[in-house]
């Protein structure tokens, strides 16, 4: 399920036409015949006839949903620009206010699940603007469409069954099954299967209502985050400063060192004070290369954030937002602004890397994990600082 959360987020994204073979698949067979078969399957899985008929009778195929799904929703901006927009003054103020207003709920949640208020509040703000923007698509219709559609039926069929279970169980009424286009529901955009497996009734009214109950939505998010492997009382990311050049190839989410090691390489806290020299594991995250902002990414970041949303840009922004809500200063901008490549240049870079045998995935202009890895390998080969951040200079040399 985790990788699917990438579809969530009411936040601004640009869409790129999908180029994979899946996107070009053709639907064969009639939707109504498919629906009849699906109803039989739902009944065989123990959903009552009453719920099946109430939810699925007269449901139609939604072309808009398929159109969304055949585009790839991606975040393309560089970290400083994206986080500047997402973590703006009004979101920060609103987040801080809501943490105060819900202080006793947050305390109870942290006691039970170990996840602190700023972490939950940042996701809450990014996903739905704290519950205000939850989506307007019929969940049942969206999921029936995606479960019928040829592209990824195996992913959405179980989601549709679980959506019926949510209604059957009485957590949400059928008319409340309204949310994002890919079936996510509630204040922190849960997919129905996460909802069924993980959601909790935290306000004690007997229903798990992630739409209207802030307590239910936040505690359920905490339960999900704990299940991803959150370690209570541990940090997630921390902005740092580099006082000298290091071996840039060490700046890689896949490489963790004890904090004492980073300290010995001249890395200090953002305020210039020394890092605690202990064994806490961390990776060095340079979202815009060596001239941009720098963070130590602790195990909570590496284990949890990328499961909530597989986009590194979204994850870094959510984690940074949480640090701001916890009292951190605005990020140091560095001098990385303007040193990166635009969408067209990134596509040229991807083609050049692909022709050298690197697997960069689709030529989509998106700086994802595959492209970063290939960039790093080429930087090593050319003897350039291997910080995985592509520059016009690297593009020139590849040509
Ligand atoms: Ca409840």
% of the chain with per-residue pLDDT over 70: 92
Cβ contacts of 133 within 8 Å, gap of 6 or more: 10
Q: Where are the domains of the chain?
A: 4-72+136-190, 237-325, 343-398
pLDDT value at residue 11: 38
Nearest to 398 by CA among 339, 345, 322, 361: 345
In this predicted structure, the answer to whether residue 310 has a pLDDT above a threshold of 80 is yes
Average pLDDT over residues 148-172: 96
Distance 129 CA to ligand 1 centre (A): 21
> What CA–CA distance (Å, rounded) separates 210 from 219?
9
pLDDT digits (tens, 9 = 90+) for 325-359: 999 999 998 887 667 888 889 999 999 999 999 98
Distance 109 CA to ligand 1 centre (A): 14
**Class of the CATH domain delimited by 4-72+136-190:** mainly alpha
pLDDT value at residue 72: 62
Average pLDDT over residues 263-288: 96
DSSP bridge pairs for 282: 257, 298
Q: Strand 137-138 relative to strand 178-179: parallel, antiparallel, unpaired?
A: antiparallel
Distance 230 CA to ligand 1 centre (A): 24
Distance 215 CA to ligand 1 centre (A): 8
> What CA–CA distance (Å, rounded) separates 87 from 125?
9
Q: Specify the range with the lowest mean pLDDT, choosing from 16-20, 26-30, 250-254, 267-271.
A: 16-20
Distance 298 CA to ligand 1 centre (A): 33
pLDDT value at residue 96: 98
Distance 81 CA to ligand 1 centre (A): 38
> Among the residues of 102-152, which ranges form H helices?
103-113, 117-128, 139-148
Average pLDDT over residues 20-47: 87
Distance 210 CA to ligand 1 centre (A): 8
């Amino acid at each position: 399920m985790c990788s699917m959360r990438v579809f969530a987020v009411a936040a601004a994204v640009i869409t790129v036409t999908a180029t994979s073979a899946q996107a070009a698949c053709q639907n064969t067979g009639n939707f109504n015949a498919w629906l009849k078969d699906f109803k039989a399957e739902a009944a065989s899985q123990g959903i009552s006839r009453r719920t099946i008929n109430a939810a699925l009778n007269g449901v139609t195929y939604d072309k808009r949903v398929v159109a969304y799904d055949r585009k790839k929703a991606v975040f393309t901006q560089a970290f400083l620009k994206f986080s500047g927009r997402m973590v703006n003054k009004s979101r920060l103020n609103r987040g801080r206010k809501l943490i105060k207003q819900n202080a006793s709920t947050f305390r109870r949640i942290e006691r039970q699940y170990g996840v602190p208020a700023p972490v939950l509040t940042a996701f809450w703000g990014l996903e739905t603007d704290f519950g205000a923007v939850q989506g307007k698509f019929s969940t049942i219709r969206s999921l029936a469409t995606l479960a019928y559609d040829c592209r990824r039926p195996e992913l959405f069929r179980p989601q549709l069954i679980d959506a019926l279970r949510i209604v059957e169980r009485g957590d949400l009424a059928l008319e409340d099954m309204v949310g994002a286009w890919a079936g996510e529901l509630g204040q922190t955009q849960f997919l129905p299967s996460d909802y069924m497996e993980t959601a909790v009734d935290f306000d004690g009214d007997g229903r798990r209502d992630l739409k209207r109950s802030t307590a239910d939505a936040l505690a359920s998010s905490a339960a999900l985050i704990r299940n991803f492997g959150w370690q209570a009382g541990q940090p997630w990311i921390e902005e740092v400063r580099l006082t000298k050049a290091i071996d840039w190839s060490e700046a890689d989410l896949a490489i963790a060192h004890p904090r004492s090691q980073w300290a010995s390489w001249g890395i200090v806290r953002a305020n210039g004070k020394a890092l605690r020299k202990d064994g806490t594991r961390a990776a060095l995250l340079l979202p815009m290369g060596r001239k941009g902002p720098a963070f130590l990414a602790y195990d909570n970041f590496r284990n949890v954030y990328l499961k909530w949303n597989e986009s590194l840009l979204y994850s870094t922004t959510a984690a940074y937002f949480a640090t701001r809500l916890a009292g951190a200063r605005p990020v140091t901008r560095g001098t990385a602004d303007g040193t990166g490549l635009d969408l067209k240049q990134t596509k040229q870079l991807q083609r050049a890397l692909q022709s050298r045998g690197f697997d960069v995935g689709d030529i989509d202009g998106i700086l994802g994990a595959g492209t970063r890895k290939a960039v790093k390998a080429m930087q090593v080969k050319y003897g350039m600082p291997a910080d995985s951040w592509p520059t016009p200079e690297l593009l020139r040399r590849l040509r």
